[in-house]
Every structure is written in structure tokens, then in C-alpha cells.
């Protein structure tokens, strides 16, 4: 009886989250222990990392001496052009949620620091589960109906016990 209830609870959670297992969210502290500062090698820090939708990146820096600018394009990133920013971060501890797939560009607001490499390019990838081939929309409707039928059968069998 307890095994059936546990199975039912797990099945309900699975169906509730859309038929996919929840992906783990990763928190990336930019630059690691060194944080966002001119002595950090951000290129080396980011080279072995995978950034996915839902992950968060954290910028830690001395707010009195630095600001971080998110720019729109690779060209603005490469030339340290911060004249038309998407966003500016000035708190010293800033969280950025990676909500969509694609490239994001962050630079130092200080032109000299940016030209000396204090900038970060993040390529946000889809969830690992989204990378696997999923069912077609018509199949997804059928699968959802199948899940609901299974839940109904399980609930009926539990009530009969």
C-alpha cells in the first residue's frame, strides 16, 4: 500500500511538471573566488563551463570602483562600447538569471578594464532535457491523456484497497 502511494505521488509530480524531470539550476559566481576584477582571467574561468537556461550568474565586485554593463552585440563587446547598454549593474553583488537561449555580453564599465580583458561572453544553451528529441505536439497531447488515464486507474485502485 505504501509503495503504491509513493508511486502515485511521484507520478503526480512528474505529470505536474509537464512530463519532464526538473532540471537542476546552476549558480555561477563569475571569476570564482577572485570575482569580477582586473586580475581575474574570466576567459579561462568561463571556458570549461556550460551555461543553460535557468542558471544564474553572480557578479561580485567592489561597487565603489567598478560597474558592469550588459551590451547587445558582439561588436559592442569586442570594442568595449558601453554607450547603449541593455543593463547596468552597480550593487557589488548582482544576480543575472539566464532566461533564454543565446549569447549574452558583459563588460566592465571602466574602458581601461574592459580593454584589458575584464569582460564576459556567455553562450546560453537549452536545458539538457530540451536537447533530447521530444514528442511531436499531437503525441504530447496523447501522452498527457495517457498520464491522466494512468492517474485515474491508480486512484481507483487505491480507493478500492
Q: How confident is the model at residue 127, as a pLDDT?
A: 80
Q: How confident is the model at residue 152, as a pLDDT?
A: 45
Q: Provide the residue-wise pLDDT of the chain in tens; the chain has 161 residues.
A: 333 332 333 333 343 334 444 456 889 999 998 999 999 899 889 988 999 999 999 999 999 899 999 999 999 999 999 999 999 999 999 999 999 999 999 999 999 999 999 999 999 999 876 555 444 443 333 334 434 443 444 444 444 45
Q: How many CA atoms lie within 13 Å of 82's alpha carbon, on the beta-carbon side?
A: 20
CATH number for region 24-126: 2.60.40.420
Residues facing 93 on adjacent strands: 60
Beta strands, E only, the chain: 27-29, 51-52, 56-60, 68-71, 87-89, 93-97, 102-108, 119-125
Nearest to 70 by CA among 33, 46, 38, 95: 95
Q: How confident is the model at residue 94, as a pLDDT?
A: 96
Residues facing 17 on adjacent strands: none
Using an 8 Å Cβ cutoff, are 55 and 26 in contact?
Answer: yes
pTM: 0.66
Q: How confident is the model at residue 48, as a pLDDT?
A: 85
The count of other CB atoms within 10 Å of the CB of residue 63 is 14
Nearest to 11 by CA among 123, 143, 161: 143
Amino acid at each position: 500500500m505504501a509503495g503504491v502511494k509513493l508511486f502515485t505521488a511521484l507520478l503526480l509530480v512528474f505529470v505536474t511538471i509537464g512530463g519532464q524531470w526538473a532540471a537542476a539550476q546552476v549558480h555561477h559566481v563569475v571569476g570564482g573566488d577572485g570575482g569580477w576584477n582586473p586580475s581575474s582571467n574570466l576567459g579561462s574561468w568561463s571556458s570549461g563551463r556550460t551555461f543553460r537556461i535557468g542558471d544564474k550568474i553572480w557578479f561580485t565586485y567592489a561597487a565603489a570602483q567598478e560597474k558592469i554593463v550588459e551590451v547587445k552585440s558582439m561588436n559592442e563587446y569586442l570594442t568595449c562600447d558601453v554607450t547603449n547598454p541593455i543593463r547596468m549593474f552597480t550593487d557589488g553583488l548582482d544576480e543575472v538569471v539566464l532566461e533564454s537561449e543565446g549569447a549574452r555580453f558583459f563588460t566592465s564599465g571602466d574602458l581601461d578594464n574592459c580593454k584589458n580583458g575584464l569582460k564576459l561572453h556567455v553562450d546560453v544553451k537549452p536545458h539538457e532535457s530540451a536537447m533530447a528529441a521530444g514528442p511531436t505536439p499531437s503525441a504530447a497531447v496523447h501522452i498527457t491523456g495517457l498520464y491522466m488515464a494512468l492517474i485515474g486507474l491508480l486512484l481507483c485502485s487505491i480507493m478500492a484497497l
